[in-house]
Structure 1
Amino acid sequence: MSESLKCPVCNQLLQRTEKTYCCVNKHTFDLAKEGYLNLLLNAKKTAGDSKEMMNARRNFLAKAYYEKLSDYVNQILLDTFSAEQTIIDIGCGEGYYLSRFHRQFAPAAPHFYGLDISKLGVRMAAKKNPELQWLVANFANLPFTDHSVHTVLSMFAEYSVAEIDRVLTKDGRVIIVRAAANHLMELKNIIYPEIHEKAKTSSIKYFPGFTITQKHFSYQTQIENTEDLLSLLLMTPHYWKIKPAGVENLKQQKQLTVTISIEVDVLTRKD
Structure 2
Amino acid sequence: MSGLDWTRCPVCGEALSAVGGALRCPTRHSFDVARQGYVNLLGRAAPANADTPAMLDARARFLASGHYDPIADAVAGAARGERIAEVGAGTGFYLARVLDAHPEAEGLATDVSVAAAKRAARAHPRAASIVADTWAGLPIADGALDCVVCVFAPRNPEEFGRVLGPGGRLVVAQPSSEHLIELRERHGLLGVSPDKSDRLGAAFPHWAVASRDELRYRAELTAGQVADLIAMGPNAFHGLPAEADRADVSIAVDVVTLISPEVARIG
**TM-score category of the 2 structures, normalised to the smaller one:** 0.7 to 0.9
CA deviations on 1:65-122 (whole Å, 9 max, x unpaired) are 1111111221112xxx24xx2111000001111112223x23453x211110011011
May I ask how many residue pairs the two structures share in their alignment?
Answer: 256
Of the candidates 112, 117, 121, which is equivalent to residue 112 of structure 2? 117
Structure 2: runs of 5 or more not aligned? 263-267
Moved more, 32-41 or 256-265: 256-265
Structure 1: runs of 5 or more not aligned? none
Aligned to 1:29: 31
Report whether the alignment pairs 1:14 with 2:9: no
Aligned to 1:89: 86
Structure 1 pair 192/21, CA: closer, same or farther in 2 (3 Å)? Answer: closer
Aligned equivalents of 2:191, 2:205: Cα separation in 1: 30
Which amino acid in the other structure matches residue 76 of structure 2?
N
Aligned to 2:165: 169
Which amino acid in the other structure matches residue 126 of structure 2?
E
Counterpart mapping for 1:240-251 below 5 A: 240-241=237-238, 247-248=241-242, 251=243
Structure 1 pair 197/168, CA: closer, same or farther in 2 (3 Å)? Answer: closer
CA contact (8 A) 1:86 1:149 kept: yes
- What SS does the aligned partner of 2:108 have? strand
- What SS does the aligned partner of 1:121 have? helix
Aligned to 1:199: 194
CA contact (8 A) 1:35 1:130 kept: no
Aligned to 2:63: 61
1:229 positional shift: 1.0
1:197 positional shift: 5.8
Cα RMSD for the two superposed structures: 2.2
Aligned to 1:181: 177
Aligned to 2:216: 218
Aligned equivalents of 1:252, 1:48: Cα separation in 2: 24
Q: How high is the TM-score relative to the length of structure 2?
A: 0.88
Report whether the alignment pairs 1:48 with 2:50: yes
Aligned to 2:260: 269
Moved more, 8-17 or 233-242: 233-242
Which amino acid in the other structure matches residue 186 of structure 2?
I
Aligned equivalents of 1:74, 1:133: Cα separation in 2: 18
Which amino acid in the other structure matches residue 148 of structure 1?
A
Which amino acid in the other structure matches residue 231 of structure 2?
L
CA deviations on 1:120-170 (whole Å, 9 max, x unpaired) are 011112234343111111113111111111111110000211111111122
Structure 1 pair 266/142, CA: closer, same or farther in 2 (3 Å)? Answer: same
CA contact (8 A) 1:47 1:117 kept: no
Aligned equivalents of 1:190, 1:47: Cα separation in 2: 24
Which amino acid in the other structure matches residue 263 of structure 1?
D
Q: How high is the TM-score relative to the length of structure 1?
A: 0.86
Structure 1 pair 261/47, CA: closer, same or farther in 2 (3 Å)? Answer: closer
Which amino acid in the other structure matches residue 110 of structure 2?
L
- What SS does the aligned partner of 1:44 have? coil
